[in-house]
Amino acid sequence: MTRNVWESPAIVETLRRALEEDIGPGDVTTQACVPESRTARGRFIAREPLILAGAPLLPIVYRLRGGVYDLVLLKNDGDRCEDGEVIAQVYGRAHTLLECERVALNFLQRLCGVATAARLFANCVAGTKCRVLDTRKTTPGLRLLEKFATEAGGVTNHRLGLYDAVLIKNNHIAAAGGVRNAIERTRALSALPIEIEVRTLAELREALDAGAERLLLDNLTPAEAAVWISEIDGRATVELSGGVTLENVRAYAEAGADFVSSGAMTHSARAMDLSFRLELA
């Protein structure tokens, strides 16, 4: 992502609030035992193999707090880091480095966890035509950052929210009065491509007859998905979702899907092990 994207007002505000939450009126431990004038160097270190995400947040965190004179990012988002590798080095006021340590690590550990999980999913479908999509099952308030992290891991971003893509799901169909009604009403009011979830073969056929461009098939087995995709026969692109895991994503891809989506890489990602080590400068 470009510098301007990472420094969007929403992301900067998220970081500002995280620092405010942790530091409050002041870091009483640092104020008590570390001289105000002391400078130090710090290193961010991977403590297990991981895919890096979130490194561009570090300069923003330190700028918000002030007192950092040099920061070098040694790895880029999307890079694989091995156990013991140094990700970044920083030099500045010891007070600043200590005050920002936990917030910086919290973001890095979370986003690296998402990126690492995403890379595992992407690797599983390598060599097929299928692409893995992320979902909206993200941590509230951190969606944009977690979407950046899945992208760093090699996954394709699905819609950011309800505002940038049409996805007609089962409850929309119920509220609209059926598949055809939902598609026709949407087409009359929106120029965006239409994706619609279908739960039965009858709904699938109705959606195709109504000219749906993209179909979401939910909660099928890979074998069932292959049958449905055969019936679609290229008339629409196909996304498979529901119960997609690392263990079965390859089977779904080989069933003929254009896309598979999984919320697991965001809602169930494990925070990766990173540390920050400080020494006097």
**Tens digit of each residue's pLDDT (9 = 90 or more) over 30-49:** 999 999 999 999 999 999 99
- pLDDT score for 5: 77
Residue 169 is a catalytic residue: yes
Residues 99 and 140 in one domain: no
> How would residue 58 be classed by pLDDT, with cut points 50, 70 and 90?
very high
The residue annotated as part of the active site, out of 41, 75, 80, 137, is 137
3-state secondary structure the chain: CCHHHHCCHHHHHHHHHHHHHHHCCCCHHHHHHCCCCCEEEEEEEECCCEECCCCCHHHHHHHHHCCEEEEEECCCCCCEECCCCEEEEEEEEHHHHHHHHHHHHHHHHHHHHHHHHHHHHHHHCCCCCCEEECCCCCCCCCHHHHHHHHHHCCCECCCCCCCCCEEECHHHHHHHCCHHHHHHHHHHHCCCCEEEEECCHHHHHHHHHCCCCEEEEECCCHHHHHHHHHHHCCCCEEEEECCCCCCCHHHHHHCCCCEEECCHHHHCCCCCCEEEEEEEC
Cα 63 from Cα 9, distance rounded (Å): 14
Residue 3 has pLDDT above 90, yes or no: no
pLDDT, mean of residues 244-252: 97
Residues 19 and 138 in one domain: no
Residue 102 is a catalytic residue: yes
N-to-C CA span, the chain: 32
Phi, then psi, of 83 in degrees rounded to 5: -55, 125
- pLDDT score for 142: 96
Q: How many C-beta neighbours within 10 Å does residue 258 have?
A: 19
Residues 84 and 126 in one domain: no
**CB of 60 closer than 8 Å to CB of 16:** no
Cα 50 from Cα 153, distance rounded (Å): 10
The residue annotated as part of the active site, out of 43, 75, 131, 169, is 169
> How would residue 1 be classed by pLDDT, with cut points 50, 70 and 90?
very low
Residue 79 is a catalytic residue: no
Residues 90 and 182 in one domain: no
- pLDDT score for 188: 94
- CATH number of 219's domain: 3.20.20.70
Cα 176 from Cα 207, distance rounded (Å): 14
Residues 215 and 231 in one domain: yes
The residue annotated as part of the active site, out of 22, 79, 218, 254, is 218
Per the listing, tokens 């009604």 go with: 181
> How would residue 160 be classed by pLDDT, with cut points 50, 70 and 90?
very high
- pLDDT score for 4: 67
- pLDDT score for 246: 96
The residue annotated as part of the active site, out of 102, 143, 159, 180, is 102
Residues 109 and 132 in one domain: no
pTM equals: 0.95
Count of domains forming the chain? 2
CA distances from 11 to 56, 79, 114, 237 (A): 11, 22, 17, 33
The residue annotated as part of the active site, out of 27, 195, 197, 206, is 197
β-strands 80-81, 50-51 pairing? antiparallel
CB neighbour list of residue 252: distance below 8 Å, 6 or more residues apart: 130, 222, 225, 240, 244, 260
Structural tokens at position 255: 């069933």
Residues 12 and 110 in one domain: yes
**Tens digit of each residue's pLDDT (9 = 90 or more) over 180-220:** 999 999 999 998 989 999 999 999 999 999 999 999 999 99
Residues 112 and 170 in one domain: no
pLDDT > 70 in the chain, percent: 99
Residues 149 and 198 in one domain: yes
- pLDDT score for 2: 47
Angle between helices 94-124 and 57-65 (to 10 degrees): 160
Residue 137 is a catalytic residue: yes
- CATH number of 80's domain: 3.90.1170.20
Residues 128 and 102 in one domain: no
Residues 137 and 262 in one domain: yes
Query: What residues does 88 pair with on adjacent strands?
Result: 44, 73
Q: Which domain holds residue 48?
A: 3-118+269-280
Residues 273 and 137 in one domain: no
